[in-house]
Amino acid sequence: MRNGKLFLLGARYISNLTFLFMHLVIRSSLIFCSFILVGSALSCGGAKTGGNNSALDKPLATPPVTKKRPKIVALGDSLTAGFGLTEKESFPYLLQQRLNADGYDYEVVNAGVSGDTSLGGLERSDWVLEQDDAKVLILELGANDLLRGIPVEKMKANLDAIIHKAKAKNLKILLCGMLAPPTMGQKYQKDFTNAFPDLASENKVEFLPFLLDNIAMNKDLNQADGIHPNAEGEKIMTENVYKALQPLLQK
């Protein structure tokens, strides 16, 4: 009897194991099939996505190459920087607009620093003249030398050195002249005023006799300090520069 019971228990245990094994086999098969179906769906979905975004398979468009324009460098003091004015009222900006309108393909660089003297301009001239494609230099310095009473021979030597540096880089040059008032004394007035045309003649560069022609001493064209042009005066100064600059330009 005992052996018969053991046999029945063993048979029942084996039956249970067999059932459990078959259950696991069926479950594993279902999971495996699910993975296959999911994988197929993802594969189809990926192919579909690639079809809808074919632009992603195209090479990236390279940006157009911008042509470098020759530069006109305006090296000066507050008269160039546009003291008391907005950037769009300064003469370098207005000159750029005029050049564009007349078909000249140049870029004007405003290298004006308020308060700068001829010595200050000389000290920074190396890096200013290192501008890529710099072709023309507008040299406007000396007014602050005048206001500080700096000896004319020192100012002239500084401007001469800047001119030589620019010529060494094959830049064309426009030298802007200034006038000294009688209050500086007769000798200083004469020496200062003559320094600019002398420099232009000695170095054979273009010359604008008086930057502030038709502007100086006119309260309607100057700011409250009576020295710096206002927005209207700046327009006239731009025309003065433009007329003197034209012989140096090429279309």
Catalytic positions are 78, 225, 228
Record the tokens describing residue 25, joined without a space: 């086999």
How far is Cα 106 from Cα 100, in angstroms, rounded to an integer? 8
Paired strand residues for 207: 175
How far is Cα 243 from Cα 71, in angstroms, rounded to an integer? 18
C-alpha separations of 130 from 113, 173, 225, 238, 240 in Å = 17, 15, 34, 24, 26
How far is Cα 164 from Cα 166, in angstroms, rounded to an integer? 5
Q: Which residue has the tokens 């206001």?
A: 147
The alpha carbon of residue 38 and the mean position of all alpha carbons in its chain are separated, in whole angstroms, by 55
How far is Cα 91 from Cα 232, in angstroms, rounded to an integer? 11
Provide the b/e sequence for 194-222 (b: ≥16 CB within 10 Å).
ebbeebbeebebbbbbebbeebbeeeebb
Environment class of 30 (CB within 10 Å of its CB; exposed 0-12, middle 13-18, buried 19+): exposed
Phi and psi at 154, nearest 5°, equal: -70, -45
